[in-house]
Amino acid sequence: MAFTLPDLPYPYDALQPYLSKETLEFHHDKHHAAYVNTANNLLKDSGLEGKSLEEIVKETHGKNVPLFNNAAQHYNHSEYWKSIKPNGGSKVPGSLEKALIESFGSIEKVKEELVQAGTTQFGSGWAWLVVKDGKIAVAKTGNAENPLIQGAEPILTVDVWEHTYYIDYRNRRPDYLKAFVDNLVNWDYVAERYDAAVK
């Protein structure tokens, strides 16, 4: 089954002033679309056509580098779009809030650790909240890598490739990450992912 580029779950200008319409047009219509197209070309004759995206990501890691890179970037971006929303960053739903406070002490600490992970990811990559062995943790990965290949379940995804923030923040990645945690995170989606991961 071929991969398809998902529509953004909100209008292109809906995340302003934190992410501009121009950023979302480039990021979704050019960058994410290119990963989908390249992954589809590489998927042909790979023997993996019938598998799910998650299975393809896990099975190609370390074996088929070009297909892994493009399929993982498709997975990562699809999760990133759902991890953010207009007027995000507000109230964390109850069950998730309780679990985050158990793991980190406070919601402020979770935000701090996410900003720290994204800031210290050298070069291109991603920061995450993951569930592993029933616990929530912060993670970071380089390039297209993601927590699926480490046996963890991603519940929140932050893109820290320069194409994500360079138009709006230039080199100020920490400012983008601060806006992400304070004004963009879709905690309802993260809670949905958390509930599914611990079921």
Between CA 78 and CA 41 the distance in angstroms is 19
Nearest distance from residue 92's CB to Mn ion, in Å? 25
In our burial notation (b when 16+ CB lie closer than 10 A, e otherwise), range 60-79 reads bbeebeebbbbbbbbbbbbb
Q: Count of CB atoms within 10 A of residue 52's CB? A: 10
DSSP 171: T
Convert 89-102 into a string of H (helix), E (strand) and C (coil).
CCCCCHHHHHHHHH
Nearest distance from residue 6's CB to Mn ion, in Å? 14
Residue from 114, 159, 183, 189 binding Mn ion (CB under 5 A): 159
Single-letter residue type at 70: N
Nearest distance from residue 11's CB to Mn ion, in Å? 19
Instruction: Tell me if residue 138 falls in helix, strand or coil.
Output: strand
Nearest distance from residue 123's CB to Mn ion, in Å? 13
Residue 168 binds Mn ion, judged by CB under 5 A: no
Residue 75 binds Mn ion, judged by CB under 5 A: no
Nearest distance from residue 74's CB to Mn ion, in Å? 11
Residue closer to Mn ion (CB basis): 164 or 183 = 164
Q: Which stretch binds Mn ion (CB under 5 A): 10-18, 54-62, 83-91, 158-166?
A: 158-166
Q: Are residues 100 and 107 in contact, defined by beta-carbon separation less than 8 angstroms?
A: yes
Residue from 161, 165, 180, 187 binding Mn ion (CB under 5 A): 161
Between CA 158 and CA 89 the distance in angstroms is 13
Residue showing the smallest CB distance to Mn ion in the complex: 159
Residue closer to Mn ion (CB basis): 153 or 159 = 159
Residue closer to Mn ion (CB basis): 145 or 159 = 159
Q: Which stretch binds Mn ion (CB under 5 A): 48-56, 103-111, 125-133, 151-159?
A: 151-159
Between CA 38 and CA 19 the distance in angstroms is 26
Which residues are near Mn ion by CB under 5 A? Answer: 159, 161
